[in-house]
Chains A and B, each alone.
Chain A
Amino acid sequence: MSPMNRRSFLVGSVLFAGGAALAGCTSDPLNKNAGSVAGAKVTLQQWYHAYGESGTQQAVQRYAQEFTKANPDIAINVSWIAGDYETKLNSAMLTAEAPDLFELGDFRYQNVKNGLLAPLDDIVGPVKGDFSQAALDTVTVDGKIYGVKMIDDVMMLFYRKSALQAAGVQPPQTFAELLEATKKLNTGKQKGLYVGTDGVGEAATLLLWSSGADFFDSSGKKISFAAPEAVAAIAGLKQLHDSGGLLQGYPTDWSDPGAFANGATAMQWGGLWSLPDIKKSLADDFGVVAWPKFGDSGKQVARVGGWYQLANAKSKNLEAAKKFINWLWIQQADLQKEWCVKYGFHIPARKEVAAQTTEFSTGAAKEAVTISQSNGHSYSGLWNKASATLFLQAATKIANGQADPAAELGDAAKKAQAEVDKQLA
């Protein structure tokens, strides 16, 4: 190689490496200023989990742009986070990349305790009566309100009317009927029941609630999921697994209507949000029912979740973030209504908006509202990811017959209690 060649090679490589470094190390790796508008003094970072329905991401971006139109000083950059949203959010909250405002499905007391959330009383206060008491209680800590409920999501059992008719079974009201239906509805090609790709999903939680037990006892601070009636109910998971009718390993999880809409299962635990998609595939050949009751002292249950809009207490632009929350989730009733019915279905959290929404007056949607009112059950704010992991691990072992239910749940309860005590300390 001649010296000239070597030199030009070196210059070339330096240019290439430099270019690569510049491209890789831009000062804006998350594309944070993508949403900024010329003239905006402040750009807020907002996080959403990835909603499954098409058009949702464009919708929230449009809401942000409309806000900026009305408030040219404040631009908003929306991040759409796929996968394990809460884990990603939790780690981001400890860094300088933390969003200024974000949504969260299950409200966690520990976020308040760790000083991550800003109180939003000045926003919610004036319209307090417009929210359900439950939606307020969940986010109230020491008299302060830390979140604005955006939407209520009810989760329930979807069943295929024609399949049940063909098998000669009724929509299940008790666990025994559910087990029977799961077996009878299994045709090989179409399985009986789908609760999640891992065969557990929320079924362990539902079995627990449907036995009349709960994660916490009446004091709200002592773990009680290892009580005898709870153990008996959660052991039911193994019966479902042994029935041969439980669908497992479907590529999409329970939160997606895929397995049910494509005919891979005759019954599926799912969310109200899937209703429009299911209607598109199955027309009127489906119905909804709460999770059946377990045992004589049990009750039918449905999970009521939903999403809260929260503000980061450490945000440098807290006032701007609060202004946006107030604008979108309190003032813009039309946008709230659109968000609740145009993509997936959600029950508007505000009574005033719900009253204007006609989509829930007939059919399965109406049924869903009734179920949420009479069977709805929610997580306690003290129930955190660490406890949930312990509970679900135990449930998975029980489902697969790898552990004695009482011993396994007892052990998990002891460890979960330690987690709860740490939060309350």
Chain B
Amino acid sequence: MTATIEAPPATAAAPKTRRKRRDWRAIGAFAVLTGPMVIGLGLFKYVAIGWSFLLSFNDARGTISLGHWTGLTNYVFLLEDDAFRTSLTTIALFTVFIVPITFVASLALAVLINSIRRGRAFFRTVFLVPAAVSYVVAALVWKMALFNGLPSGVANVIGGLFGADPVPWLSQQNPPVYWVAVVTLRLWLQVGLYMILFLAGLQAISPTLYEAGELDGTSKWQAFRYITLPQLRNTSVAVLLLILIAAFQAFDEFYNLFSTGLAGTSTAPVKPPLVYLYDSALGDQNYGVGSAGAFVLTVIIIVITLLQGRIVGFGKKD
């Protein structure tokens, strides 16, 4: 360990003659430090991904060994299955709703907290704390306490104040009120985290810009529109990307809100793709279809991310 620290950093400051010779100590240190990570990633991620890719072309029921090559059967099965197609539509709709709401809510909170003078740390903490709560725990609180179907459930008590009848929030489909539970849960858990990212971005904006704006007599809205927003572009793009991917990978709250003990999620009113795939692979033991679905989903996420990058210009220089 000590050797690594004392080894001269390979910067331009190093003499030119030494640069040409290979610095074996540095290479050795590099290998030692990155080796475990690379081997771990390779073994536990990439080998598994590769195996799963092969499985997706096999009839693998109740087994994860290869041997029943079926070509594209699993992919065809998935794309022909209404349940899988519905799950894709579901997640697309969910994303269309949740991404802008999360984005606007976390940006608004960040701007508000950044503008107050007292108690900034307090409010920052208050909004960030939910981000530390696990999805499973939060989903259980939502399911058992807030949105249960009893007249004494919190949501039904509040509804009762306005004269509404008690509603089985998580199973009623006409109208589909379960979305209220799903969306509020995700907002509560996520907004604080993205708010922190925005706060960091806000604090990196040079105050001189605002001072110059004030001299020119900009209104608050103009300052936000022409200084804050453009300066936050990189943060915004990164946050958008993170929210989008997180939305597409939604699993925990859907599984935990809608699963019923021994029966799993068979009677869930909605299933996002990951729950569908969980049920196929781990519930029905159809690992071929499960793997194929994982790759379909991956391709969709990559395509959307690339498109989004194109549209909002991720990675472009300012």
The docked-state distance in angstroms from the alpha carbon of A10 to that of B279 is 45
Tell me if B95 is interfacial: C-beta within 8 Å of chain A: no
Query: A253 to chain B: which residues have CB within 8 Å?
Result: 260-262
Contact B174 A249 (CB under 8 A): no
| A28 to B37 CA separation, bound complex (whole angstroms) | 22
CA distance A44 to B229 in the complex (A): 62
Which of these binds chain A: B61-69, B104-112, B205-213? B61-69
With a CB–CB cut-off of 8 A, which chain A residues contact B62?
Answer: 90, 94, 110-111, 113-114, 116
Looking at A127-135, A196-204, A321-329, A360-368, the stretch in contact with chain B turns out to be A196-204
Q: Which residue of A lies closest to B173 (CB)?
A: A400
Q: Tell me if B261 and A422 are in contact (CB < 8 A).
A: no
Instruction: Quote the shortest CB–CB distance from A102 to chain B (angstroms).
Output: 15
Stretch at the interface among B141-149, B192-200, B215-223: B141-149
Partner of A248, one of B83, B168, B268: B168
Within 8 A of B (CB), among A78-134: 83-87, 90-91, 94, 105, 110-111, 113-114, 116
Number of A-B contacts (CB under 8 A): 122
Contact of A198 among B144, B153, B267 (CB under 8 A): B267
Q: How far is the CA of A84 from the CA of B285 in the complex (A)?
A: 14
Distance to closest chain B CB from A199 (angstroms): 5
A249-B149 contact in complex given A14-B1, A393-B83, C-beta closer than 8 Å: yes
Closest approach, in angstroms, between the C-beta of A260 and any C-beta of chain B?
14
The residues of B that contact A105 with a CB separation of less than 8 Å are 262
Give the shortest distance, in Å, between A29 (CB) and chain B (any CB): 14
Contacts of B1 in A (CB 8 A): 10-11, 14
Interface string of A381-413 (1 = CB under 8 A from B): 000111011001101100011100000000000
Confirm or deny: B102 has a beta carbon within 8 angstroms of a beta carbon on chain A: no
Residues 276-297 (chain B) with a chain A CB within 8 angstroms? 279, 282-286
Give the most central of A111, A199, A255: most B CB within 10 Å.
A199
- B169: CB under 8 A from chain A? yes
**Is there contact, CB below 8 Å, between A392 and B267?**
yes
* Interface status of A216 (Cβ within 8 A of chain B): no
The interface size of chain A toward B, counting residues with CB under 8 Å, comes to: 50
Contacts of A384 in B (CB 8 A): 284
Residues of B within 8 A of A197 (CB): 149, 170-171, 260
Cβ contact within 8 Å between B63 and A249: no
- Give the residue name and chain of the B residue nearest to A11 (CB): B1
A402 and B173 form a contact (CB under 8 A): yes
A86 to B62, CA, bound (A): 13
CB-contacts of B157-184 with A (<8 A)? 168-174
Q: Is the CB of B261 within 8 A of A385?
A: no
Provided the pairs A83-B261, A396-B269, A400-B174 are in contact, do residues A385 and B148 lie with their beta carbons within 8 angstroms? no
Q: Which 3 A-B pairs have the closest CB atoms?
A: A249-B149, A248-B168, A386-B284
Q: Known contacts A198-B170, A247-B149, A250-B150; can you find 19 more A-B pairs with CB under 8 A? A: A49-B262, A84-B259, A84-B261, A84-B264, A86-B262, A105-B262, A110-B61, A114-B63, A197-B260, A199-B267, A248-B149, A250-B148, A255-B261, A385-B283, A385-B285, A393-B83, A393-B266, A396-B268, A419-B284
* CB pairs A–B below 8 angstroms (11 shown): A85-B262, A87-B283, A105-B262, A114-B62, A198-B170, A198-B263, A248-B171, A249-B150, A250-B148, A251-B150, A253-B262
